[in-house]
Structure 1
Amino acid sequence: MIKSGRSQLEIHPMAQEFSQKSKILFRPKRLEKKQRSKHKKIIFGVLFLIIFAGAIYFFFFSPTFQIKNALIIASEKNISSDLVAQVQNSVRDFFQTRFFFVRRDNLFVFQENELKDYLISKFPEISDAKIERSSEKNLAEREIKIYLTKREMAAIWCETDLASAATGELKPVEEENFEPVTSTAATISESEAVRPKEEIKKCFYVDGEGVVFEEAPLTFGALIVLVKDFSGDEISLGARIAEPKFIEFILDARDWLAKNSDVSLAEFSIDKEDRQLRGLTSEEWQIVFNESQTAAEQGFIIKKVLEQEIKDKRRDLEYFDLRIENRIYYKYRNQDSKEDNTQK
Structure 2
Amino acid sequence: MLSFKKNIKRKEVEYKKLRSISKKEENFKALEKAYRVFYYMLVFLFAAVAVYVMFFSPFMAVSAVEITGLEDLDRSKVSSAAKDVYGGAYLKLIPKNNFLLFPRKAVSKKLQEEFKRIRSVEISRSFPDKVEIKITERKALLLWCSIGEECFIVDENGYAYNRVRLDSKEALENNLVKIISEEETGISEGDRIFDAEKVIFLLGAKELFREKTGLEFEGDMRIKSKIAEEVVLKSRDGWGLHVSMTLPLEKAAQTLKLFLEKEMDTQNMSKLEYIDLRVENRIYYKFKKEEEKEGEAANGEEGKDDKD
Taking structure 2 as the reference length, the TM-score comes to 0.69
- One of 122, 132, 135 as aligned partner of 2:114: 122
- Mapped partners of 1:244, 1:340: distance in 2: 32
- One of 76, 85, 94 as aligned partner of 2:85: 94
- Does residue 159 in structure 1 map to residue 146 in structure 2? yes
Ranked by relative contact order (alpha carbons within 8 Å, sequence separation 6 or more), the top structure is 1
Partner of 2:102: 110
Q: Check the 8 A contact 2:259/2:297 in 1, yes or no.
A: no
**What do the CA deviations read for 1:277-335 (whole angstroms, capped 9, x no partner)?**
312222231313132x332122112222222234443442434142x4x4224131521
How many residue pairs match? The answer is 278
Partner of 1:302: 256
Q: How many angstroms does 1:51 deviate by?
A: 1.5
- Provide the alpha-carbon RMSD of the alignment: 4.2
The structure-2 alpha-carbon separation of the partners of 1:336 and 1:107, relative to structure 1 and needing over 3 Å to count, comes to same
Q: How many angstroms does 1:19 deviate by?
A: 8.5
The structure-2 alpha-carbon separation of the partners of 1:97 and 1:234, relative to structure 1 and needing over 3 Å to count, comes to farther
Partner of 1:243: 195
Q: How many angstroms does 1:39 deviate by?
A: 3.4
Q: How many angstroms does 1:149 deviate by?
A: 7.3
- Mapped partners of 2:294, 2:65: distance in 1: 65
**What do the CA deviations read for 1:140-183 (whole angstroms, capped 9, x no partner)?**
xx5667687765532222123xxxxxxxxxxxxxxxxxxxxxxx
- Mapped partners of 2:192, 2:227: distance in 1: 19
- One of 137, 149, 152 as aligned partner of 1:204: 152
Q: How many angstroms does 1:113 deviate by?
A: 7.6
- One of 229, 233, 236 as aligned partner of 1:276: 229
Secondary structure, aligned partner of 2:262: helix
Q: How many angstroms does 1:52 deviate by?
A: 1.2
- Mapped partners of 1:329, 1:99: distance in 2: 68
Q: Check the 8 A contact 2:255/2:297 in 1, yes or no.
A: no
- Mapped partners of 1:21, 1:328: distance in 2: 124
Partner of 1:63: 58
Partner of 1:286: 241
Partner of 1:226: 178
Partner of 1:29: 24
- Mapped partners of 2:134, 2:165: distance in 1: 25
Partner of 2:43: 48
Q: How many angstroms does 1:131 deviate by?
A: 7.1
**Given residue 270 of structure 1, which amino acid in structure 2 is its aligned partner?**
I
**What do the CA deviations read for 1:227-282 (whole angstroms, capped 9, x no partner)?**
1134423233x665433322111112221012211241532233347252312222
Q: Check the 8 A contact 1:205/1:216 in 2, yes or no.
A: no
Q: Check the 8 A contact 1:268/1:277 in 2, yes or no.
A: no
Q: Check the 8 A contact 1:328/1:342 in 2, yes or no.
A: yes
**What do the CA deviations read for 1:189-238 (whole angstroms, capped 9, x no partner)?**
xxxxxxxxxxx231233343435346253579xx65211134423233x6
**What do the CA deviations read for 1:98-130 (whole angstroms, capped 9, x no partner)?**
679854311233376864564244212346778
- One of 276, 285, 304 as aligned partner of 1:320: 276
**What do the CA deviations read for 1:23-77 (whole angstroms, capped 9, x no partner)?**
555355345434433432332123212211221122212333223465668965x
Secondary structure, aligned partner of 1:264: coil
- Mapped partners of 2:225, 2:64: distance in 1: 50
Q: Check the 8 A contact 1:156/1:216 in 2, yes or no.
A: no
- Mapped partners of 2:107, 2:26: distance in 1: 60
- Mapped partners of 2:135, 2:48: distance in 1: 39
Q: Check the 8 A contact 1:124/1:214 in 2, yes or no.
A: no
Which blocks of at least 5 consecutive residues in structure 2 are unaligned?
1-6, 301-308
